[in-house]
Amino acid sequence: MKKTRIALIGAGYIADYHARGLKELAHVEMAAVVAKTPESARNFSEKYGIPNAFTSISPVVNDPSIDAVVISTPNFLHAPQALEFLRKGIDVFIEKPMAMNTEEGREIAQVAREHNSLVMIGHMWRFDTETQYIEACVRSQKLGKVIKTKGYGIHENWGPEGWFTQKELAGGGALADMGVHAIDTVRYLLGDPKPLKVYARIATHFGDYEVDDTGILVVTWDNGAESIIESGWWHPHMDGPEASTSLFGTKGYANLFPTFLKLKKGETSEEIRPEAVQKDEHCDQRIYTSQMRYFIDCILSRSQPVPGIDEGLTVMRIIDAAYRSAETGKAIDL
């Protein structure tokens, strides 16, 4: 069986998770890596046995043997790099967020369609076992009609540095970095409803930078549910870890991280906890490995990945609407 040849674009922290995942997959060859400096490209290539190390995407764009790329570069590079590969018919995985804004996301979608290329977005919590358990409970109506949710994307006593804190490179702050996890996770749990309205309060309280580190959003969905979503860096406390979500239904309650159900039994409730999933860390490697396995499967079957263009664009629309809402003080209709 011919191996699927993958190039990794970016060699930072998250690229290690993708590379480790790809390394576990049979019939996959990591053919090249592109990094900012020769040293980082060389170190990454040696670490994972990758034969080609570059500091420009040009050699990869012009290599007809490359089947797909995994883009893990700063946000401002997501769209321009993805577009170059898509125009060559190369399938693309893009780390979250999809782009700097909705307009860039729509351009990615258009070019992908024109060249019959696949696009997957790195909303990796959809591949977590506990997340899938809660999604199945919601889908099977165990909670009844879900009317309210609360979700979190917050770093406690920590925040990133470098390009993450520069608006021209990141597009936004904690909302674009952490809020996207809470947004996409709750969409997945609710069956991917469409957003109708967004109201947001966004501010900077914890650092001297030009992006946000505090956000509260209220999203109205077309299935009648309302979602409260919090994002943040450097907060002194978080009500739950990354992507933690609470769902309130007419028949019960579900919580993701820690994961359990509370189902109504008359005037009392029954608590149900799934079998514990052993993880080395909250954002466990197995999530990223499952994500890469699914991406490769989509390449082989020529199936549009989910999360893909539609899911990535929906998150971008919500983020853009949240920033507009914070600026105007008004709810934004989508």
Cα 198 to Cα 318: distance, rounded to the nearest angstrom:
7
Contact 324, 331 (CB under 8 A): no
Residue 278 confidence (pLDDT): 87
**Cβ neighbours for 317, distance < 8 A, ≥ 6 positions apart:** 102, 195, 334
Q: Is 162 left (phi over 0), alpha (psi -120 to 50) or beta?
A: left
Which domains occur in the chain, in start order? 4-122 (3.40.50.720), 126-284+316-333 (3.30.360.10)
The helix (run of H) or strand (run of E) holding residue 249 is strand 245-249
Q: Is 290 left (phi over 0), alpha (psi -120 to 50) or beta?
A: alpha
Q: Is the pTM of this model over 0.85?
A: yes
**Cβ neighbours for 238, distance < 8 A, ≥ 6 positions apart:** 152, 154, 155, 156, 232
Cα 223 to Cα 140: distance, rounded to the nearest angstrom:
16
Residue 239 confidence (pLDDT): 96
Residue 277 confidence (pLDDT): 85
User: Which of 125, 215, 183 has the alpha carbon at shortest distance from 315?
Assistant: 183
pLDDT per residue as tens, the chain (334 positions): 799 999 999 999 999 999 999 999 999 999 999 999 999 999 999 999 999 999 999 999 999 999 999 999 999 999 999 999 999 999 999 999 999 999 999 999 999 999 999 999 999 999 999 999 999 999 999 999 999 999 999 999 999 999 999 999 999 999 999 999 999 999 999 999 999 999 999 999 999 999 999 999 999 999 999 999 999 999 999 999 999 999 999 999 999 999 999 999 988 999 999 998 889 999 999 999 999 999 999 999 999 999 999 999 999 999 999 999 999 999 999 9
- The encoded tokens of residue 92 equal 């693309």
Contact 98, 313 (CB under 8 A): yes
User: Which of 316, 309, 317, 303 has the alpha carbon at shortest distance from 94?
Assistant: 309
Q: What is the DSSP letter of 164?
A: G
List beta partners, residue 70: 8, 93
